[in-house]
Amino acid sequence: MSGRTLALESELNASELIALEEQYGAHNYHPLDVVIARAEGAWVEDVSGRRYLDFLAAYSAVNQGHCHPAIRQAMVEQAQKVTLTSRAFRNDQLPLLYRDLHALTGFEMALPMNSGAEAVETALKAARKWGETVKGIPANQAEILVASGNFHGRTIAIVGFSSDAQYRSGFGPFAPGFRAIPFGDIAALEQAITPHTAAFLVEPIQGEAGIILPPDGYLAAAAALCRRHNVLLITDEIQSGLGRTGKLFAFEHEGIRPDAAIIGKALSGGFYPVSAVLASRQILGVFHPGDHGSTFGGNPLACAVARAALRVLVDEDLIRRSAELGAHALQRLRGVSSSRVRQVRGRGLWLAIELHQPARPICEALQQRGVLCKETHETVIRIAPPLVISREDLDWGLDQIEAVLTA
């Protein structure tokens, strides 16, 4: 390392920063060419000082808004005390997070991790171990059912059961023990269950697929079917949970309670990677010391941040705001008269505009008008602003969408 130096921070313009990113970074994303330097609430600001209304909320990770002062204060205070102990020792924040999660969600136990994908992997391991040690499935024969169109993360195991060809291409061979069935088809679920089925992993509303809602009653029927066959129902609430759909969890829209729920993203309000699996003592009790872990999972900084993020959801009544503002936004978008629009759908402040044409140019046109959103699956625009957004700002953003779509 002798003689090596790192450049001091200097003022670079957007083009120069983009050029650096393109030169030295792997090209695994296709972002809009806006370089954000600051953010607050529902607004972000680029390096030249231009402001944009955020209609993506970091894929629902900043439900509480950018740089929420209460979460920031909790992070700064905890960072001045202790940030990481590993799980080799106990810390004074983890038990308090456990208590808060139980009080808010009612689940008996939690297992904290970092990213959403890690939490999904944790749930998969728990389901397999439960299947073998509790249900009595023969060793190495447990099967987990998933839904086609799913998105649960980017690990080798997870992309192995994706139905998106790009997510799988070049990454095989994949782990066995997973089978995909059509999303929203209760008959297909019933037909797929065998004595070796340990769990059914499903998004209550499919996010990356384009905010796809299953038929009414699907989750309730799936829960009853899983209960009858002694199969765990695991809901992935990483994007749909913590207020995004107008309920604490999307599964609450059908009055069910899954055996396990996976949360992440907004669990930290965008300050720090925090995720968790929530479940009963019987399910998470299958783990014993040494079975599973993470150096950073459950660290005191993460726990302090997560506790503050949960308090903001409750204290600022963001779940109710999501329901009310989401209903208003859905009504407005469905009232837009444009031949470009094929369908508008969603729940809470999680909406999709499906087009008859590629969505990327529409997102780029919206960027020019000061609104940031992102396409998915070529023809779908996702609308997911921070839940703290004011009705006035929301309406201004919807005005820009209507103007672009009807231009």
Q: What CATH number is given to the structural domain containing 373? A: 3.90.1150.10
CB atoms within 10 A of CB 191: 10
pLDDT of residue 2: 58
Q: What angle do CA 144, 149, 150 make, to 5 degrees?
A: 50
Residue 358 lies in a domain: yes
CA 287 to chain centre: 25
What is the sign of the dihedral through the CA atoms of 150, 154, 157 and 162?
positive
Provide φ and ψ at 216, rounded to 5°.
-55, 135
C-alpha–C-alpha distance, residues 111 and 118, integer Å: 11
Residue-wise pLDDT tens digits, 345-375:
999 999 999 999 999 999 999 999 999 999 9
Residue 131 lies in a domain: yes
- Name the domain boundary from 298, 315, 332: 315
Identify whether residues 268 and 159 lie together within a single domain. Answer: yes
Question: Which residues are catalytically annotated?
Answer: 151, 236, 265
Identify whether residues 357 and 210 lie together within a single domain. Answer: no
Mean pLDDT of the 181-194 span: 98
Identify whether residues 291 and 325 lie together within a single domain. Answer: no
Task: Look at residue 8 and tell me whether its pLDDT is greater than 80.
Answer: no
| Residue 292, both tokens | 């599973």
Residue 117 lies in a domain: yes
Residue-wise pLDDT tens digits, 41-69:
999 999 999 999 999 999 999 999 999 99
pLDDT of residue 275: 98
- Name the domain boundary from 265, 291, 315: 315
Mean pLDDT of the 14-38 span: 96
DSSP H helical ranges for 316-390: 318-334, 360-368
C-alpha–C-alpha distance, residues 287 and 179, integer Å: 24
Residue-wise pLDDT tens digits, 101-126:
999 999 999 999 999 999 999 999 99
pLDDT of residue 3: 66
CATH number of the domain where residue 173 is located: 3.40.640.10
Identify whether residues 272 and 354 lie together within a single domain. Answer: no
Identify whether residues 131 and 256 lie together within a single domain. Answer: yes
Identify whether residues 277 and 181 lie together within a single domain. Answer: yes
Residue 135 lies in a domain: yes
**Bridge partners (DSSP) listed for residue 39:** 44
- Name the domain boundary from 315, 337, 364: 315
Task: Look at residue 11 and tell me whether its pLDDT is greater than 90.
Answer: no
C-alpha–C-alpha distance, residues 384 and 43, integer Å: 13
Identify whether residues 120 and 147 lie together within a single domain. Answer: yes
| Residue 172, both tokens | 């095989």
Q: What percent of the chain has pLDDT over 70?
A: 99
Domain count, the chain: 2
Residue 400 lies in a domain: yes
| Residue 263, both tokens | 């949360």
Residue-wise pLDDT tens digits, 216-236:
999 999 999 999 999 999 999
Identify whether residues 161 and 179 lie together within a single domain. Answer: yes
Banded pLDDT at 321 (limits 50, 70, 90): very high
| Residue 143, both tokens | 């099967």
Identify whether residues 180 and 154 lie together within a single domain. Answer: yes
Domain that holds residue 325: 44-64+317-405
pLDDT of residue 5: 75
Average pLDDT, the chain: 97
Residue 173: CA count within 13 A, CB half-sphere: 3
Banded pLDDT at 279 (limits 50, 70, 90): very high
C-alpha–C-alpha distance, residues 155 and 285, integer Å: 25
Identify whether residues 54 and 76 lie together within a single domain. Answer: no
Identify whether residues 54 and 150 lie together within a single domain. Answer: no
pTM listed for this prediction: 0.97
Sequence-distant (≥ 6) Cβ neighbours of residue 216 within 8 angstroms: 254
Report the candidate in 117, 113, 159 with the shortest Cα–Cα distance to residue 292.
Answer: 113
Identify whether residues 354 and 279 lie together within a single domain. Answer: no
Residue 6 lies in a domain: no
Report the candidate in 127, 104, 153 with the shortest Cα–Cα distance to residue 233.
Answer: 127
Mean pLDDT of the 260-289 span: 98
Residue 2 lies in a domain: no
pLDDT of residue 244: 98
Q: What angle do CA 103, 105, 106 make, to 5 degrees?
A: 70
Q: What angle do CA 338, 341, 345 make, to 5 degrees?
A: 125
pLDDT of residue 4: 81
Residue 29 lies in a domain: no
C-alpha–C-alpha distance, residues 392 and 407, integer Å: 22
Mean pLDDT of the 68-79 span: 98
C-alpha–C-alpha distance, residues 251 and 231, integer Å: 17
